[in-house]
Structure 1
Amino acid sequence: MAFQSRPMFSIMLNYFKRPWAIRRMASSMATSCGGSGMGCEAVVNVDNPHEADEWAAVTLQSKGFVVPVFSSNVHETRGYNRAAKVARGKLLVVWQDDQIAPESPKWVHDLVKVFDAYPQLAIIGMNTYRLCKHLEGTNRWGAPDYWLPDPKTGVRWTYAQNVDFAPLVVRAVAYSALGGLDEGFSRSGDCGIWGDWELCNRAWMDGWQTGFMFMEGRQGDGHAGGTHTGGNAEKCWGRQQLVTSSGFTKRYGTQLLQDELCGKVWDLNMRSFTLADPNDPKKCPYGSEGLTRFANCTKPA
């Protein structure tokens, strides 16, 4: 857990005014990711430097595992981009400050297996996802147990068109090639809503791929997230949701593009995975009983 010349993972945390969770967050990340034996660091954009003393103490105690970056309410999008410039890991894990890492490091080993086996895979979401953005009315959650585990890796995962913050894992070379998160969708101090989907669309259009793998054992810290309390809720999920969703729709909303991306994900899923229960049509994630209804679960020729 001491200083690593080139860790496998860099957890990128944007922190803002949650002092009760600082030590628990740092400890859980050190146990879960740092205890995997694969090399891990936690790069923290401390977005309210009034708590610099506490983070300095945690940094000293962690013996180099925690790497602080001090900003002043640049908020999520710019905070993660700043952390990415400091991060030295090959895989960047976008993390949020109301999340506690699972005790088991199994997710770390599973991620490495999948990223090693699929070099075009740029992003793996671990929160919620959509197989097809414009034909699903809500996000999917939980393990994609409609597929058998991937025969290449033994891991249960799926290709997905869009995945959500957070956790969200990005190959470092892809994050750099794509230019990181688009800072033009929000001002300093605004939440980074829709930045995850925007990054996924750019990844697909640039020849990369996006997938989803559920993280077992992740917890909340027992308090509501900062974007869900008081005036911040309306600021983020009201005004900023409208601003960024409108921008996303203008940039990527054409039916031709969305159909192409959905079809690409369907094709990859059907060629890569096997249904867990091929005799039950209700278990098909694309069938008439599921969230999407534009295709079936018959393997393409």
Structure 2
Amino acid sequence: MAALVRRLALLVLLLLATRLHPAAAELDDELEEAPDASSSASTLNKRKLSPLEPVACPLVHAKRPRQIAPKFPGCKSSYVDEPQTVTLVLASAGGPPANLRASLTSAGVINQHVLILVDGAAEDGVTRTGFKGRAAWARAFTGNTHHLIFSSGRLGYARALNRLLSAVAFSAAQVIVLPLDTPERVSASEGNELGRWLAGARRALASAPPQVAALAACGASSTAFETKRRADRLPAVLAPLPGVPYIARARALLEAGGWRAAGCTSSSGSEDGGCEAASLADMGARLWAAGKEVRAYVGDEVGALKNSEKRWCDRPGARQASFSRNETACANAFHEASTRASQLISAAASKRGARRMPSTTEFLGELHAGCPAPADDKGICPPEPVPMLSLTLQYFRRGSYVGKLGDALRDSWTRLGGGTNVEVIVNNDSGDSHPRWSAQLARMPRALLVYSNNLHEIRAYNLMTRMSRAEVVAHLQDDDKPHGGWASNAVKLFGARRKLGLLGGYRGRFDGGSITELNIKMQAKNHIKYGPSCKNSIPTVEPLTKIPMMLIYKVNAAPLVVRRSVFLQLGGFQLGFSCKGESGIGFDFEYSVRNWKNGYEVALWNANFRKLGGTGGTRASKSKFDKRRRTEIRNNRIMFKMYPGFHHNKGNGMAMQANKGLVRRGRQRGSSFDPSNGFPNFSGNRQCTDPWHG
């Protein structure tokens, strides 16, 4: 009976997951077609190899937008929007070693994206030591593309790396991984060698055959073999050893689903987040099973790290598995993964010879079959729960609001059940108020505090959405205070409407009449707005949830709530709508149009947020407001070039017609529209009391 209940529960979860992932089919189109799982399993059984246990789906990763805005003119920033190599650094709460920046500089990656996650910082985040550690990291990595991330609770090796891997820009071909203890272990004398090794490994991986997924400074021993060709003189290994640097093809790690969330349980039953060695071995096994290879790059051909085996692999503790408190459970997990990968490598060597590697069809097994969560009958490494909602907040120099914002985030978190139901990510774009934010986020488990160098909202929201884990992601601003049951209503609306890609919580509009690319006055006049303090209120109700909502052509920030898989599939917000650190007004309208263009719905409902007051940002002065207005005009114009024949009449008509399926409300402000009768009379429409805020 208990088994039947578990199966029914799993079926319900899978159905809910399918309902909240409408873009799964499109997103999987670009992935390699999986062979028949049963035939693969049969092949493995004939070789006396056990099929791999099912692992997580490939990580849904951002893609380049299908409609690309022209680059914003006159940008002075050196920010790299499309890096080729991204460095992931896991660190403790202390500051960085002095030579780490020099190592990345000599490797040629310091000016590309460097993502640093200080794991479990909140345990130390409100102490003097934590403040000093943050300041030290900030001084060492001041570049435009360096992001320092603090976790409010212990994530552990796999979960922390998966956060960073998800944040990697879509353009990245390679990912450098510097594990938890690498920065502390890199001495000054080894700093230059690390840089030279990374530079050589980057070149070696770029020229290696496509099936080579990763190169490590050294790796766990296995039944390794080498090809006879000089260009492939890279020993095959199980996986990198804990604590050593390695470099991988980004796509290979993403398609493998990231690292297994190895949160081994302690004797008290709490998750400790260890099992680094088991997680590495498991990743190696899955890469080998999928027809990929993990190899060791010593660097002799470029003259770097000639003594790498001594430098990196024979250091005290380097070969010891890095486990959490439950040593036996983690050691067993490491042994099982190691055995699987070694069998796969050995089978490939005996059948194919030194020159041939295992194929996907022979060794894939159950990898990605049905894409369930990682299963573990022994309860050694339970999967991390997926949150219902991710709250992402863009913050810039509003220190007096931190307490109110923290309380509001905590309230929204509590109303959805607390725990791991809600994920909170704050981008501190100005770097101030670290003690205040650390204290606020310490009240919520595994919240992330991201430090960026004045990205502004477009790039900040793109970064936080990639890093988030929920399918429903809410983008919040630092002058709004979330209030009441808005979060629950947002989740319900996305669950009820499979095609809903974007939900606005403040204002929206229909366009009509004689709006053209060049007629600015008509752009400002010929539309009808809906929302708070406007002539027109929302006239319809979503039939399943009974929540007042309407489908609309464009919505304004904020809040903006997105379906993450659709957001990443469509490429996120347009980077060409602003320079780094500047206003990108109109990005919300363009993303609305892009949703309609690609078959997704845009809706408006009243989140009932409360304004915190004050004037700042692009409204702080006349000069800033004038620049904002010029940006708005420019971005409105280029939308006509981006969507010829669609924007605005065709797209607007689609939005109006889509409202036929909704239920009319009783009494509401203003004259409602009838989708069956075409456009309403847009001329002379009275606007909202604050026309420039939506």
The partner residue of 1:221 within 609, 612, 631 is: 612
- Cα distance in 1 for partners of 2:619, 2:469 equals 32
CA contact (8 A) 2:538 2:550 kept: no
Q: 1:40: which partner in 2? A: 422
Q: Which moved more, 1:224-233 or 1:155-164?
A: 224-233
Matched ranges for 1:3-152 at <5 A: 5-37=385-417, 39-60=421-442, 62-64=443-445, 66-102=447-483, 104-105=484-485, 107-132=486-511, 134=515, 136-137=526-527, 139-142=529-532, 144-147=537-540, 149-152=541-544
Gaps of 5+ in 1: 295-301
CA contact (8 A) 2:466 2:568 kept: no
Q: Percent identity?
A: 24
Q: Displacement, 1:275?
A: 5.7
- Cα distance in 1 for partners of 2:579, 2:616 equals 19
State the secondary structure of the residue aligned to 1:155. Answer: coil
Report the RMSD for the aligned CA atoms in angstroms: 2.7
The partner residue of 1:172 within 549, 564, 582 is: 564
- Cα distance in 1 for partners of 2:424, 2:389 equals 8
Q: 1:299: which partner in 2? A: none
Q: Given residue 67 of structure 1, which amino acid in structure 2 is its aligned partner? A: L
Q: Which moved more, 1:227-236 or 1:204-213?
A: 227-236
- Cα distance in 2 for partners of 1:113, 1:35 equals 14
- Cα distance in 2 for partners of 1:164, 1:158 equals 14
Q: Displacement, 1:225?
A: 3.7
- Cα distance in 2 for partners of 1:112, 1:18 equals 28
Q: 2:584: which partner in 1? A: 192
TM-score by length of 1: 0.84
Q: Given residue 207 of structure 1, which amino acid in structure 2 is its aligned partner? A: G
State the secondary structure of the residue aligned to 1:139. Answer: strand
Deviations 1:185-237 (A, max 9, x none): 10011112100111111111111111111112x11112224221125632542
- Cα distance in 2 for partners of 1:235, 1:83 equals 29
TM-score by length of 2: 0.38
The partner residue of 1:285 within 662, 666, 673 is: 673
Q: Displacement, 1:144?
A: 4.0
Gaps of 5+ in 2: 1-151, 156-383, 516-524, 683-694
- Cα distance in 2 for partners of 1:262, 1:194 equals 16
Specify the structure having the higher radius of gyration (Cα): 2
CA gap of 1:91–1:225, structure 2 versus 1, over 3 A, is: farther
Q: 2:175: which partner in 1? A: none
- Cα distance in 1 for partners of 2:646, 2:568 equals 28
CA contact (8 A) 2:425 2:448 kept: yes
Q: Displacement, 1:87?
A: 1.2
- Cα distance in 2 for partners of 1:225, 1:174 equals 32
CA contact (8 A) 1:190 1:240 kept: no
State the secondary structure of the residue aligned to 1:202. Answer: helix
CA contact (8 A) 1:100 1:219 kept: yes
Q: Displacement, 1:239?
A: 3.0
CA contact (8 A) 1:127 1:165 kept: yes
Q: Which moved more, 1:48-57 or 1:164-173?
A: 48-57
CA contact (8 A) 2:511 2:527 kept: no
Matched ranges for 1:226-245 at <5 A: 226-230=617-621, 233-234=624-625, 236-245=627-636
